[in-house]
Amino acid sequence: MELFSALNISKQFSGHKALDNVSINIPEGSIFGLLGPNGAGKTTFIRIINQIIAPDDGKLFYNGRELKPNDIYNIGYLPEERGLYKKMTVGEQAMYLAQLKGLSRQEAQRRLNHWFEKFEMKSWWNKKVEELSKGMQQKVQFLITIIHEPKLLIFDEPFSGFDPINASMLKDEIIAQKENGATIIFSTHNMASVEELCDHISLINNSRVVLDGRVRDIKKTYKTNTFEISYTNYQAELSGILPSAFTIIKEWNDHDLRMATVRIPSDSGPNQLISSLLPYVMLHSFIELVPNMNDIFIKVVTEEKTEAVLN
């Protein structure tokens, strides 16, 4: 079941179409990657979800019904840009923003005490925001984003400004939020984080959705039947061993091993490659080279750009 969905969302600014019939379904309890190059329309879409701006056309649905103004209390949004008041103390600001999210002062204080201790932030309570580093400010904003335990969380480049230790802690907390029942929209340019965290993705380019689905299914769709092998005791060159329909992309030596990258036809399987090799070599490793999300992202966006130029 989808917790949130968008149907045929369009938005235009001064003759520029930011979103063009964008439809997205976000399954409940998932981490959903919202991807795209700069200027693709991601930020506009996020602002529409948060009801900061309204779409020109299309509908938004939350929990099986049309999105209502008070659904904002069920959403937590961490923008990429820092949005804290620099002259206020961290504690004063955290209390103020927690109460804006609908918490009583007593409940806000209780939850903030818990999170400030968990994130090792207790000593920051009376510091002014301007005294904090970029990463520390982002930590405060993350805490405020989740403090009211929303069902839908939106994180826009959440690891920006974090060192590896705090980035790892934040990843763990995002996963914990999912395990506790939250649905998460995750917008980033870091494809390694997408592969690590996301169940589903939508790629927006030039205001349109150009790729959508489960991460594992997309990677399977874009695989090229290419394998990297290492072997010894070879009695002949691969070109004399393998069927002519197999393509030897690269061969090289790695210390005592002979290495090769081989692409097999789509109507062949890995067993055929292995059975062709075994009479002639001692096989040490056999790895399918599945494209990562970064490769797929570049391929799809580049093809879209080429198609736009041709048209």
Tell me the pLDDT band of 178, cut-offs 50, 70 and 90: very high
Domain of 278 in residue numbering reads as 224-288
- pLDDT tens for residues 31-43? 999 999 988 899 9
* pTM given for the model: 0.88
Question: Of 203, 220, 237, at which residue does a domain stop?
Answer: 220
Which CATH number belongs to the domain containing residue 17 in this structure?
3.40.50.300
In this structure, the answer to whether residues 104 and 237 fall within a common structural domain is no
Quick check: 305 pLDDT over 80? no
Domain count, the chain: 2
Residues 212 and 80 in one domain: yes
Tell me whether residue 303 is in a domain: no
pLDDT digits (tens, 9 = 90+) for 95-148: 999 999 999 999 999 999 999 999 999 999 999 999 998 888 989 999 999 999
Instruction: Clarify whether residues 122 and 47 are in a common domain.
Output: yes
Query: What pLDDT was estimated at residue 310?
Result: 64
Residue 75 lies in a domain: yes
Q: Is 105 exposed, middle or buried (0-12, 13-18, 19+ CB in 10 A)?
A: exposed
154 shares a domain with 279: no
pLDDT tens-digit readout, 224-270: 999 999 999 877 788 889 999 999 999 999 988 999 999 999 888 89
Q: Determine the pLDDT at residue 39.
A: 86
In the prediction, which pLDDT does 311 show?
60
CA–CA gap between residue 67 and residue 114 (Å, rounded):
31
R_g of the chain, CA atoms, integer Å:
25
From 220, 253, 276, give the residue that closes a domain: 220
List the one residue out of 100, 97, 5, 99 whose CA is nearest residue 49: 5
Question: What band does 162 get if pLDDT is binned at 50, 70 and 90?
Answer: confident
Residue 40 phi/psi, 5° resolution? -75, -25
- Condensed to tens digits (0 to 9), the pLDDT of residues 33-87 reads 999 998 889 999 999 999 999 999 999 999 999 999 999 999 999 988 877 888 9
